[in-house]
Amino acid sequence: MPTSHEPKLISGNANRPLTEAIAQRMSLHRGIDVGLVDARVERFNDGEIFVEVFENVRGEDMFVVQPTSNPANDNLMELMIIADALRRSSAARITAVMPYFGYARQDRRSKARTPITAKLVANLLVEAGIERILTLDLHATQIQGFFDIPVDNLYASPIWALDAMHHFKDRMDEVMVVSPDVGGVARARDLAQRINAPLSIVDKRRGKPGEVAEMTVIGDVKDRVCLIVDDIVDTAGTLCKAAQVLMDNGAKEVHSYITHGVLSGPAIERISKSVMTNLVITNTIQPTAAVLACPQIRIVNTAPVFAQAILNTWNGTSVSSLFNHKTLKPIYEGVYSG
């Protein structure tokens, strides 16, 4: 059991605004100020990362908030070095809060002589002294089995359900949830069941790596408000093409709910020129100026759910209670209260 009276938050450089937002939400719940542990995480001239913690953390329950997004290697090293510093400072327990788990797409050997990098990352995190992982929408749920420590994988689906029921409350009978590929059907079905909407699938066939040769819509999307659901949007090529195929098949509007907005390369330009009405992402990855300036992109705050998950972990109470959108509704009160 933790020996401190309050959980302690420490942030890397990957998404400090999210960490500060989590601390604010925790302060609201606790009725006292929950600040960030005073520390510096910086780089020497040769790029080496240096961490110094200025507060006593002996016997404390520590939560390190650090998505391993771009630059993935730097952010991963930051996380491990922070964990090592805390372990050597006699912290009671170290939980890595990884809103976005990088390298999750390398969860299996896709061909001969390739690595399973997600497993390697799991080994590195445990060796660094991390004793628990808290993350959101792992690309592949089997990654939880790569760890010999507890992994709490939260889901964006309950948040999307609240958002959809708020923004489409007057026309829920027109909404159809769409999976952009066969592999994402389980994720899309989960949201469809939560909002009592039908499900459609876009079946894609690749001509060569990185290129989609053909897309076929399975299901009748004519005159429907389509909600594409996925966990990662990277260059947005497949997403924008799927939106176009849905419109070509008679859809009234296309909106997308994607948890992690990687949005690299030509993504913003493609989204700006696409037929999508909205792309809704979370703030698990700190948005760039280009993302914030794109009128089609709307960002949903994950600080409320992470703050509650951290408090539940610290208290030793259920984290799985946050899988229910009815449980999340009071946590997001004021956002989806209409």
Q: What is the pLDDT of residues 31-58, one digit of tens each?
A: 888 889 999 999 999 999 999 999 999 9
d(CA 270, CA 242) in angstroms, rounded, equals 12
Q: Do domains 8-155+303-331 and 157-300 have the same CATH topology?
A: yes
Residues in binding site for ATP: 46-48, 105-106
Residues in binding site for D-ribose 5-phosphate: 206, 230, 234-238
Q: Which residues contact 38 (CB under 8 A, 6 or more apart)?
A: 53, 54, 55
Q: pLDDT tens track of the chain, all 338 residues?
A: 444 568 999 999 999 999 999 999 999 888 888 889 999 999 999 999 999 999 999 999 999 999 999 999 999 999 999 999 999 999 999 999 999 999 999 999 988 999 999 999 999 999 999 999 999 999 999 999 999 999 999 999 999 999 999 999 999 999 999 999 888 999 999 999 999 999 999 987 766 555 566 889 999 999 999 999 999 999 999 999 999 999 999 999 999 999 999 999 999 999 999 999 999 999 999 999 999 999 999 999 999 999 999 999 999 999 998 998 888 988 887 777 55
Domain boundaries, the chain: 8-155+303-331, 157-300
Residues in binding site: 46-48, 105-106, 139, 181, 206, 230, 234-238
CATH number of this structure's domain 157-300, picked from the four choices 3.30.450.20, 3.40.50.2000, 3.40.50.2020, 3.20.20.70: 3.40.50.2020
Top-tier CATH class for 8-155+303-331: alpha beta
| Residues marked as catalytic | 204
